[in-house]
Structure 1
Amino acid sequence: MDGATTRSRNRRGQGELLRREIIDAAVRMLNELGDDEALSLRAVAREVGIAATSVYIHFADRDELVFAALEQSTADLLRNLDQAEDNAGDNPVRRLRARLLFLGSWTRDYAGLYKVLHESTLNRRMELVFKEELSVRAIAAVQACMDAGLAPADDAAAVALDLRSAVHGAVSIRINEPEASLPPLEEQVDRFLRKLVGVSVEHMF
């Protein structure tokens, strides 16, 4: 079993279940490692309790597995971001703010995944197409503020890019420079919303 923990064989038709278990294990390990190149298929197999050869039935190589793990975690993140927006009510500024604050809390819990998703060399080896949806949703959130007259009319895509760049920069510093003296992320997010999107404080809370 290649050092793997003994486990019962999946019944016929449960191959997809095993694939999901492999992806779930990879997500956990990537978050712990913070480095996709430090992940090995053999280690993932041990985590799941299967032979290393069983991983290759579902994934041709490490990059393919990491891609699947990041795709799944991004889909989960998108659902949670949507929920955070919905919990904020109908005001588009509050919805946008809730979205950004949730992203900040997510990166605290999943700093390793964040590094692999945005800072790893995988971004140069593969096109992480699923990341585009994060950009699409961000543009829509900014556009909603403009359409409601709560932010100055502008190029929503350009404003959203500036906003995302600012938030990612703030988050990245916290992950990569944990000893840095920084204000609460919430304060920075509110400042970004005022200065980059042009919303007023009265619409944030």
Structure 2
Amino acid sequence: MIDDYAKAHLHGELREVRESVLSKLDGLREYDVRRPLTPTGTNLLGLVKHLSTWEARYFGQVFGRPFPEPLPAWDDKTRRGTDMWATEHETRAEVVDRYRRVWEHSDATIDGLPVDAPGHVPWWPRPGVRLFDVLVHMIVETTRHVGHADILREHLDGAVEMDAESMIRRGQDAAFWANRHAEVERVARAADPTGT
């Protein structure tokens, strides 16, 4: 009983956080979903592509159910990091659609296996895993990248997880955030009297 509950609960969490990833693309122009927003080139569409690649591996190859579309080999050092950005030939729709196809494939694996089903992750130091381990790992990985996406999106247009209407109802308009930013800056400077 607890196994069924745990699997259903974890699967529900994964589904929710996946949708959150895609919501970060909503309303942005093509350049903004692709542009590098950190020194290492992190961008919103690249996060979606990266999650798609790794979720396809974890719920595919690990459990002997390879994703039916080509994936770069996980140990191909010449391709390392290329899953973190979309080329000019990959459209947003293609990247998003592929992520959704990965979800379908992953969901079939999750639905079809017991939570203690064994798998093999050759890139982990202890490669013997259970479906439970991979579910937790993918929730953590996806949530971590949603956090990145939250910050990138806020940097682009100020959007945060709450919609503008709920922020206004709570008194958090642009002036509120400008004052908050100024206060945090003041505190940071006060904590570092050397100014370096």
Structure-1-length-normalised TM-score:
0.26
Q: Which structure exhibits the higher relative contact order, with contacts defined as CA atoms closer than 8 Å and separated by 6 or more residues?
A: 2
